[in-house]
Structure 1
Amino acid sequence: MTKGTLLLTGGSGMVGRNILEHPLATDWEVLAPTSRELDLTDATAVNEYVASHEPDMVIHSAGQVGGIQANMAHPVAFLERNTAMGRNIIMAAYQSGVSKFLNLASTCMYPRAAPNPLTEDMILTGELEPTNEGYAIAKIMATRLCQYIRREDETAQYKTLIPCNLFGRHDKFDPKHSHLLPAIIHKVHLAKTKGEETVEIWGDGTARREFMYAGDLADAVMKAADDIENLPDLMNTGLGHDFTINEYYQTVADVIGWQGDFVHDLSKPVGMKQKLCSTERQTAWGWSAPTSLHDAIQRTYDFYLNEATK
């Protein structure tokens, strides 16, 4: 017997696919419509879908995502589409009487100048990072909407996880659309296969980032699905420690077996110098990410070789 019907948005994306692959997903009857089956930017379609399927819980992981280049090139889409998706699915669920809703946000919601580690109460206390401001505003809107629903209706378990940067299986490796770590894997792999002796790093490589394996986020999500009543209204989900960009490049090189040199292009944008999550609430809730950086990169590279490049 299943725990009920779970509606997962973004089931075709990296986070959604990792959730679907998690062993605990089999405990639920999962609905994971593709964007062709359900256009989340169409409020009428979303209302009709949720009303007709009556899910017991919704996990919202859908979104238009990308790295610095994509965010800078398409700010309108990152703001408008993500705002529409978040608003439509949250309100459709609430208006249909769904009592459990897990919203997945992003650490880009934090002010660019916020001191590290980032604590959940810092949101909306300062200017956002310009390179991904549109996406951040959309995620703040969805997060606040869940909080407002909770404020008006204490029985509504509408809560938000704030994942740190993610990478892993089912990632995007095309540099035009990828985040940092899959882009590094792609660049270093090409350097090895082509016999190149150098790989370029944007900036001086000293900026620090916290990257968590997507399979670990899926683990936190499925634990939250089982324990949403005890989950904080708003909770960072991450490692609690970070690495420099240079260290990520070197670890990828170690995994792939490339022994060349790195060169730095100081003219390129690098974003925030550091973005490290506080994991105090996460620790108190009783969860920590189980996969090491080396193992996570190895699993991601195996996926890249065996599936992403075919």
Structure 2
Amino acid sequence: MDKNARIYIAGHRGLVGSAIKRQLEKQGYTNLVYRTSSELDLRDPSVVNEFFAKEAVDFVFLAAAKVGGIVANNEYPADFIRDNLLIQTNVIDAAYRNNVDKLLFLGSTCIYPKHAPQPMKEEHLLTGTLEPTNEPYAIAKIAGIKMCESYNRQFGTKFISAMPTNLYGEFDNFDLETSHVLPALIRKFHEAKVNNDKQVEIWGTGSPKREFLYSDDLAEACVYLMNIYEGNEFVNIGVGEDISIKEVALKIKSIVGFKGELAFNTDKPDGTPRKLVDVTKLHGLGWKASTSLEEGLEKAYNWYLENYDKESLNV
């Protein structure tokens, strides 16, 4: 990408999009385009096409999506499949119709079968049954991958897809009803510390293992792939290591300074037993994550204290 290229970041205020925006600015890209959801409803094809026609965008980072944890996916499955299908379909199609040079579609590792071999390789896609708790979201993301592949085959576009593992970092969602596990734990431990609670409830058994990637590392990988990668096969983005929910909870407990105990609510679902991605392809392309889990957790907690806590909790 030329430093003066017009680059559209769809979803620039979210966890992923904001990190991509920071990374592009850090690398000296100056011609960035973005809109809030109130300014541009990506679910409306007519306004999306009008936007692309007017803005003459060269590159697109498609990070806009409806996302959430187990609770949100369970309670709003129709919202998750509808909104994500609409957003990605409209943006990908408008990018093609308005001659965008290249587009990067961001999915999620929930696209893989619930019992996929570990670590999960790109070729494991569509080889088994999905995890039921987030199946509608996963199906939407699989459709996005296939849409990019199909447009490349039929129209000669340069649309690439990347599947990041579990993410955390600045501008994360800390709402306990809709957040993912790591920001939820950060908030739970902080509130318990402030309230002098004796214990923090952890959903499930604590035994499932998860891989966590700091959002700024993901953003660096996305810009790297946009610059060097062309191909119809999607690319996993992760760190290549995982950790149990219990272990990561203990790390967060230590960073926050909570002195109480952990209480595992085994009536709550564990979700997929393990989700570790194979990053051999990514490493072969010349990129590796650089932020350790401890360093990333400290950054995420400090951002929470400086931004979210003051506004929402008043403590």
| Shorter-chain TM band | over 0.9
Q: Could you tell which deviates more after superposition, 238-247 or 93-102?
A: 93-102
> What SS does the corresponding residue of 1:27 show, helix, strand or coil?
coil
Is 1:24–1:222's contact at 8 Å kept on the other side of the alignment?
no
1:212 and 1:278, CA in 2 relative to 1: closer, same or farther beyond 3 A?
A: same
Q: Could you tell me which residue of structure 2 aligns to residue 198 of structure 1? A: 199
Identity of aligned residues (%): 38
Q: Which residue of 1 aligns with 2:304?
A: 304
Q: Residue by residue, what CA displacement relative to the aligned partner does 1:22-70 show, whole Å, maximum 9, x if unpaired?
A: 2445314111111111111000111111111111111100011111000
Alpha-carbon separation, structure 2, partners of 1:275 and 1:232: 23
Q: 2:149 aligns with which of 147, 150, 153?
A: 147
SS of 2:159's partner is: strand
The Cα of 1:285 is off from its aligned counterpart by: 0.6
Specify the code of the residue in structure 2 equivalent to 1:12. Answer: R
1:116/1:275 contact within 8 Å kept: yes
Alignment of 1:195-274 (within 5 A): 195-229=196-230, 233-274=233-274
1:25 and 1:222 in contact (8 A); partners too: no
* Matched residue type, 1:16: G
Q: 1:28 to 1:223 in 2, by over 3 A?
A: farther
Q: Secondary structure at the match of 2:28?
A: helix
Is residue 127 from structure 1 mapped to residue 129 from structure 2 by the alignment? yes
TM-score with structure 1 setting the length: 0.96
Q: Gaps spanning 5+ residues in structure 1: where?
A: none
Instruction: Write out per-residue CA displacement over residues 167-205 of structure 1, whole angstroms, 9 at most, x where no aligned residue.
Output: 111011110121000000000011111111211111210
Task: Give the C-alpha shift of residue 232 in structure 1.
Answer: 6.7
Q: Distance in 2 between the 1:122 and 1:91 partners?
A: 27
Residue 72 of structure 1 is matched in structure 2 by: 74
Mapped partners of 1:66, 1:216: distance in 2: 20
- After the TM superposition, which segments of 4 or more aligned residues of structure 1 sit over 3 Å from their partners? 23-26
Corresponding position of 2:294: 294
Q: Classify the secondary structure of the residue corresponding to 1:111.
A: coil
Q: Secondary structure at the match of 2:236?
A: strand
RMSD between aligned alpha carbons? 1.3
- Quote the Cα distance in structure 2 between the aligned partners of 1:86 and 1:299: 30
Partner SS, residue 58 of structure 1? strand
Q: Are the aligned partners of 2:149 and 2:232 in contact in 1 as well (CA < 8 Å)?
A: no
Structure 2 unaligned segments of length 5 or more: list them. 311-315
Partner of 1:46: 48
Match of 2:33 in 1: 31
TM-score (normalised: structure 2): 0.95
Other structure's SS at 2:287 match: coil
What are the equivalent positions in structure 2 for 1:7-22 lying under 5 Å apart?
7-22=8-23
Letter in 1 for 2:44: D
Task: Give the letter for the 2:29 counterpart.
Answer: D
The CA distance in 1 between the partners of 2:266 and 2:32, in whole Å, is 47
